[in-house]
Amino acid sequence: MVQSLSPPQNEHLAELLFLMDLCRDMGAEKMVVVVPYLAYARQDRRFKEGEAITIQTISRLLERADKIVTVDAHSPQALSYFGRIEEVRCTPLLGGWLSEKMRLRDPLFLAPDEGSLERVREAAEKAGAEYDYLKKKRLSGRRVRTEKKRLAVRGRDVVILDDIISTGGTVVEACRMLKGARRVLACCVHGLLVGDAVQRMRRAGVERIVCTDTVESKFSLISVAGEVARHL
């Protein structure tokens, strides 16, 4: 069964749990659950006293399945709560698609923080591009602060790449460092794009927004179906 936990994630989680119980009730001998976007994974530790570790709770609910497959989980820490889960890494797929479809000129793939550097490296190497990263500090759910950094971007196409784009705040901050770039693209695996995220990124100078179909929207241009199928 396939169910992405995209917004409204609580409703989609309930639907998935109902479906899992139905399959067991109907006599399914083996149950494989594909969760393309694994919501709650960013709460992979207790950041403040009294907070729930939500991904730990989700792992306990989903592990009634015999096998779980997800796409680009937020962190190894999030995956550590599961006993049997397979992660499909799709960032190389993004790099290949961008290289083939977007006619990039002297591209620079940019990670919004050092924690995203590994996935950006995977995408950049697939595209035959250079890559770099920024340093950021998250101030709140919507606000981040990016440290100034000298980047050689004049006349180049810059791809800001992350696993999740939610409010767009990280992308907006990154755009402040990209004066002189020929064009700026924002690319991610999971495009939540909540609230006015698209408008904020457009105003900051983003020309194209490209996401996969783990979360469906008009920006879901890259299918992960083939990559997922290879793990089943």
pLDDT at 132: 94
Selecting among 67, 101, 136, 218, the annotated active-site residue is 136
Burial 186-206 (b: 16+ CB within 10 A, else e): bbbbbbbbeeebbebbeebbb
Top pLDDT among 95 and 232 is at 95
Structural domain includes residue 110: yes
How much is the average pLDDT of 29-48?
Answer: 92
Q: For residue 135, give the CATH number of its domain.
A: 3.40.50.2020
* Domain count of the fold of the chain: 2
Chain mean pLDDT for the chain:
93
Instruction: Please give the C-alpha separations between residue 127 and each of 26, 78, 191, 215, in angstroms, as whole numbers.
Output: 46, 28, 21, 23
Residue 167 and residue 54 in one domain: no
Residue 133 and residue 147 in one domain: yes
- Write the pLDDT tens digit of every residue in 166-217: 999 989 989 988 999 999 999 999 999 999 999 999 999 999 999 999 999 9
136 labelled catalytic: yes
Structural domain includes residue 80: yes
Residue 192 and residue 147 in one domain: yes
Query: Environment class of residue 218 by beta-carbon count within 10 Å: exposed (0-12), middle (13-18) or buried (19+)?
Result: exposed
- CA pair distance 87, 71, nearest whole angstrom: 6
Residue 109 and residue 36 in one domain: no
Top pLDDT among 2 and 138 is at 2
pLDDT at 137: 65
Residue 24 and residue 121 in one domain: no
**Residue 143 binned pLDDT confidence (cut-offs 50, 70, 90):** low
Structural domain includes residue 190: yes
Residue 132 and residue 217 in one domain: yes
Structural domain includes residue 166: yes
Residue 121 and residue 182 in one domain: yes
- CA pair distance 23, 169, nearest whole angstrom: 40
Residue 84 and residue 118 in one domain: no
Element (H, E) at 199: helix 197-204
Residue 81 and residue 143 in one domain: no
- Write the pLDDT tens digit of every residue in 57-116: 999 999 999 999 999 998 899 999 999 899 999 999 999 999 999 999 999 999 988 888
Residue 113 and residue 218 in one domain: yes
pLDDT at 149: 76
Q: Which domain holds residue 58?
A: 9-88
Structural domain includes residue 4: no
Structural domain includes residue 71: yes
Looking at 88, 111, 137, the residue that finishes a domain is 88
Structural domain includes residue 231: no
Q: Count CB neighbours of 145 within 10 A.
A: 11
pLDDT at 95: 97
* Whole-structure pTM value: 0.90
